[in-house]
């Protein structure tokens, strides 16, 4: 593979736009919508099947939710215990306040090893902090080894789904991409053959890799054990063969006890890929002489998580175990796909988590409105996150912010004026005077150009009547 194929393409660096804007473009792409509909329908059926066969599913959901709440309520203590356990097992722990600091730490560790490439396990945390761009900027080549991440990387795009970042692409599109990038003109669109092509392509990278970067699904504070759940074996390769392993993990991924895996290793695979268990789960504790990487770094990432933690109503979003069940059932996601969310966290969970992590600024601030509040996400969430309620809470915050604009200030003044009967009637009389130039046939239609016009023209506004009911009542002839 040439280095140029890894260059960020235009699609990857597209300027974020608000959800309604981005969704309009996404809705026009019939192929993507068909691909996503097909894939999510398949996975929903599988999930429903394997969840139904677990008699204590609801008890497991309650336990998973409670373990996460327990962790969050004493997150400082859990993190300190995790740090001590990892250090005791021979690992090194780093703390990163934000994306820039995390990238700086990882780039520094890779450079200290003198490596010019790293193999990567699929990791949402590193997608979130855009680690690949930071590595490329430092002359280090990141090699994505998860099949879907590889597809996205080869296409120069961004992930569109938590679990299956290339869900927006069908087998024919993937075949064409592999034919082009791997120089295999005769490749068929049989998924098994496509997977074989990826195996051959990445084999050499695994065998020569000296440094790997992973995320973490869970980290047990009592034993210092990190858990990565995967299907293909690329996670095992990355966490086993290289000399140095760097794991970047959001601080909310910590769990108090190794034992708690007995709950999450039931909830996650069934909710995520609709399997009783995913093919491979890797659990490692620091370093082990003679087995696997002899240097282990754990980077604990805040990057907005403490901001989410600070809002008791939004806090449950941090329970998320990134299964993507909510995405697969979401009627909005099924229409727009993941790219419209402009965040690695798409779908319902993205609509609450992305704006919270970003401090409700930028394009992702529009995401809480990207929902019909149907509640399907809450029904499937394995850790009982009440996504609809948090969406409403986030909408409330957005509306409160808008109150500082011209519209908000004007409405506040009106509120004061309407607070007394005398004030209300004065405002009515004044309104009748002021509306004359813009009222026609009982409607306010002839707005002047400018902000008021832009506001008014998008609304059907009836004109104030010449006489109010009270005025008529006072003036009627047959008064006794």
The interface with another protein within residues 107-166 (CB under 8 A) comprises 145-148, 151, 164, 166
Q: Half-sphere exposure of residue 75, counting CA atoms within 13 Å on the CB side?
A: 19
Query: Could you tell me which of 464, 478, 479 has the C-alpha nearest to residue 431?
Result: 464
From 18-26, 226-234, 353-361, 383-391, give the range in contact with another protein by CB under 8 A.
Answer: 226-234
Query: Between residues 310 and 434, which has the closer beta carbon with respect to another protein?
Result: 310
Query: Between residues 72 and 363, which has the closer beta carbon with respect to another protein?
Result: 72
For residue 333, the tally of other CB atoms under 10 A from its CB is: 28
Least distance to another protein from the beta carbon of 251, Å?
A: 7
3-class SS of residue 242: coil
Give the residue, chosen from 51, 82, 96, 155, that forms a contact with another protein under the rule CB under 8 A.
96
31 near another protein, judged by CB under 8 A: no
Site pattern 315..334 for another protein (x: CB under 8 A): x-------------------
- Count Cβ neighbours within 10 Å for each residue of 204-237 and write b for 16 or more, e otherwise: ebbeebbbbbbbbbbbbbebbbbbbbbbbebbbb
Least distance to another protein from the beta carbon of 409, Å?
A: 31
Query: Between residues 104 and 425, which has the closer beta carbon with respect to another protein?
Result: 104
237 near another protein, judged by CB under 8 A: yes
Q: How far apart are alpha carbons 150 and 140 in whole angstroms?
A: 17
Query: Between residues 303 and 363, which has the closer beta carbon with respect to another protein?
Result: 303
Q: How far apart are alpha carbons 342 and 394 in whole angstroms?
A: 17
Query: Between residues 279 and 456, which has the closer beta carbon with respect to another protein?
Result: 279
Token pair in block for residue 86: 């990892």
CA 113 to chain centre: 32
From 307-315, 340-348, 452-460, 461-469, give the range in contact with another protein by CB under 8 A.
Answer: 307-315
Give the residue, chosen from 153, 234, 356, 371, that forms a contact with another protein under the rule CB under 8 A.
234
349 near another protein, judged by CB under 8 A: no
Using CB under 8 A as the binding rule, the residues of this chain from 250 to 289 that contact another protein are 251, 258-263, 265-266, 269, 273, 275-286, 288
Contact 222, 186 (CB under 8 A): no
Query: Between residues 194 and 380, which has the closer beta carbon with respect to another protein?
Result: 194
What are the C-alpha distances in Å from 319 to residues 254, 351, 468? 10, 15, 54
From 3-11, 219-227, 348-356, 464-472, give the range in contact with another protein by CB under 8 A.
Answer: 219-227
Give the residue, chosen from 6, 16, 92, 101, that forms a contact with another protein under the rule CB under 8 A.
101
From 17-25, 303-311, 351-359, 363-371, give the range in contact with another protein by CB under 8 A.
Answer: 303-311
43 near another protein, judged by CB under 8 A: yes
Using CB under 8 A as the binding rule, the residues of this chain from 362 to 391 that contact another protein are none
Q: How far apart are alpha carbons 59 and 64 in whole angstroms?
A: 9
Using CB under 8 A as the binding rule, the residues of this chain from 57 to 76 that contact another protein are 59-60, 62-63, 66-67, 69-70, 72-76
Contact 224, 257 (CB under 8 A): no
Token pair in block for residue 61: 């959901």
What are the C-alpha distances in Å from 349 to residues 4, 297, 332, 387? 34, 29, 12, 7
Q: How does strand 92-96 pair with strand 295-301?
A: parallel
Q: Kindly state the number of chain residues that form the binding site for another protein, as judged by CB under 8 A.
A: 100
Sequence-ordered alpha helix ranges (H) in 209-318: 234-240, 261-272, 305-309
295 near another protein, judged by CB under 8 A: no
Site pattern 186..215 for another protein (x: CB under 8 A): -----xx-xxx-xx--xx--xxx-------
3-class SS of residue 211: strand
Length of the chain: 480
Query: Between residues 163 and 340, which has the closer beta carbon with respect to another protein?
Result: 163
Contact 277, 230 (CB under 8 A): no
Give the residue, chosen from 219, 300, 380, 390, that forms a contact with another protein under the rule CB under 8 A.
300
394 near another protein, judged by CB under 8 A: no
Query: Between residues 24 and 306, which has the closer beta carbon with respect to another protein?
Result: 306
- Count Cβ neighbours within 10 Å for each residue of 96-122 and write b for 16 or more, e otherwise: beebebbbebbbebbeeeebebbbbbb
Query: Between residues 209 and 363, which has the closer beta carbon with respect to another protein?
Result: 209
């Amino acid at each position: 593979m040439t280095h140029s194929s890894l260059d960020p393409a235009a699609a990857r660096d597209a300027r974020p736009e608000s959800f309604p804007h981005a969704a309009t473009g996404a809705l026009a792409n019939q192929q993507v919508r068909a691909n996503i509909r097909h894939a999510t329908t398949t996975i929903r059926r599988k999930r429903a099947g394997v969840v139904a066969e677990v008699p204590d599913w609801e008890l497991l959901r309650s336990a998973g939710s409670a373990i996460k709440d327990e962790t969050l309520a004493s997150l400082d203590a859990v993190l300190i215990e995790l740090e001590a356990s990892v250090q005791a097992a021979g690992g090194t722990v780093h703390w990163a306040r934000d994306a820039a600091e995390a990238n700086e730490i990882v780039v520094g560790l890779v450079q200290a090893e003198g490596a010019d490439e790293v193999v990567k396990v699929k990791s949402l945390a590193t997608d979130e902090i855009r680690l690949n761009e930071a590595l490329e900027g430092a002359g280090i080549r990141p090699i994505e080894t998860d099949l879907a991440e590889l597809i996205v990387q080869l296409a120069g795009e961004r992930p569109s789904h938590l679990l299956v970042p290339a869900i927006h692409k069908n087998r024919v599109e993937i075949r064409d991409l592999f034919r082009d990038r791997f120089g295999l003109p005769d490749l068929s669109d049989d998924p098994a053959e496509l997977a074989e092509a990826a195996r051959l392509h990445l084999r050499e990278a695994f065998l020569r890799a000296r440094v790997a970067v992973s995320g973490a699904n869970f980290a047990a504070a009592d034993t210092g054990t990190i858990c990565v759940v995967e299907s293909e074996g690329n996670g095992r390769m990355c966490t086993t063969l290289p000399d140095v392993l760097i794991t970047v993990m959001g601080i909310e991924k910590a769990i108090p006890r190794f034992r708690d895996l007995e709950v999450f290793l039931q909830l996650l695979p069934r909710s995520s890929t609709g399997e009783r268990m995913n093919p491979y789960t890797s659990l490692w504790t620091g370093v082990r002489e003679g087995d696997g990487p002899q240097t282990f770094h754990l980077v604990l990432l805040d990057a907005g998580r403490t901001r989410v933690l600070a809002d008791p109503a939004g806090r449950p979003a941090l329970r998320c175990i990134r299964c993507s069940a909510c995405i697969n059932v979401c009627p909005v996601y099924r229409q727009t796909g993941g790219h419209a969310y402009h965040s690695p966290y798409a779908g319902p969970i993205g609509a609450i988590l992305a704006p919270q992590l970003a401090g409700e600024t930028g394009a992702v601030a529009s995401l809480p409105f990207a929902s019909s509040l149907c509640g399907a996400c809450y029904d499937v969430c394995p850790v009982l996150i009440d996504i609809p309620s948090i969406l409403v809470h986030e909408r409330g915050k957005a509306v409160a912010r808008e109150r500082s604009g011209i519209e908000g200030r004007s409405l506040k003044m009106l509120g004061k004026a309407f607070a007394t009967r005398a004030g209300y009637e004065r405002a009515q009389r004044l309104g009748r005077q002021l509306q004359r130039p813009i009222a026609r046939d009982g409607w306010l239609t002839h707005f002047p150009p400018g902000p008021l016009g832009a506001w008014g023209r998008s609304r059907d506004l009836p004109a104030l009547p010449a006489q109010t009911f009270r005025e008529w009542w006072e003036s009627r002839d047959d008064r006794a």
